[in-house]
Amino acid sequence: MRRALSLALAAALSGCPGEPPGPAIDPLFPVDYASTWTEVRDCRLSVEHTLVHVRVWANPVALGAYERRDAPFPDGSILLKEEFTDSGCTERSGWTVMAREAGFAPTLGDWHWQDVLPDRRVVSDGTVSTCFQCHEDCGVAPDGHDWTCAVP
């Protein structure tokens, strides 16, 4: 299982011979988020995936709305979910990100979604339907807030 996964990942990382690499998309979060953002949900078993543990980080713009859940997220809010294969949250397997960008997707909460590999390669980007279809359900009170789903 673990070996199959690393082989698939190795194949994805090496790309197909002869194919030019696609345009590189930058992740929506900085490399040093752990020293500049706030951890708003500590290491816990994910409700979304079995056997994945997660931590959630908020940038300074998102922090108040994420902690208090008393107002919508302002433009520029970014939330980052770190995913790990172990229960101590040390072996990172990737990230998912949601960023509120005014005008980006007005009927979908103006959220910009990304799925990012451990080497910071962005594998999904935009109004990703798998992401928003789940979050529009779990991201409502009492468990969620303004499209976010991690319970306090």
Closest CA to 27 of 85, 88, 80: 80
Is residue 59 near ligand HEC by the rule CB under 6 A?
Answer: no
Q: From the list 96, 109, 112, 146, which residue makes contact with ligand HEC (rule: CB under 6 A)?
A: 96
What's the rounded Cα separation, in Å, for the pair 116 and 141? 27
Q: From the list 9, 27, 48, 85, which residue makes contact with ligand HEC (rule: CB under 6 A)?
A: 48
Are the CB atoms for 62 and 75 separated by under 8 Å?
no
Is residue 130 near ligand HEC by the rule CB under 6 A?
Answer: yes
Q: Which is nearer to ligand HEC, 17 or 124 (CB)?
A: 124
What's the rounded Cα separation, in Å, for the pair 89 and 44? 8
Q: Which is nearer to ligand HEC, 15 or 126 (CB)?
A: 126
At 24, give phi and psi (nearest 5°).
-75, 135
- Sign, Cα dihedral of 25, 127, 59, 148: negative
Q: From the list 33, 97, 100, 112, which residue makes contact with ligand HEC (rule: CB under 6 A)?
A: 97
Using CB under 6 A as the binding rule, the residues of this chain from 98 to 127 that contact ligand HEC are 98, 113-115, 124
- Candidates 1-9, 13-21, 29-37, 79-87; binding stretch for ligand HEC (CB under 6 A): 79-87
Task: Enumerate residues 6+ apart whose C-beta is below 8 A from 25.
Answer: 114, 122, 125
Is residue 47 near ligand HEC by the rule CB under 6 A?
Answer: yes
Is residue 81 near ligand HEC by the rule CB under 6 A?
Answer: yes
Residues found near ligand HEC in the complex (CB under 6 A): 46-48, 54, 56, 79-81, 96-98, 113-115, 124, 128, 130-131, 134-135, 138, 148-150
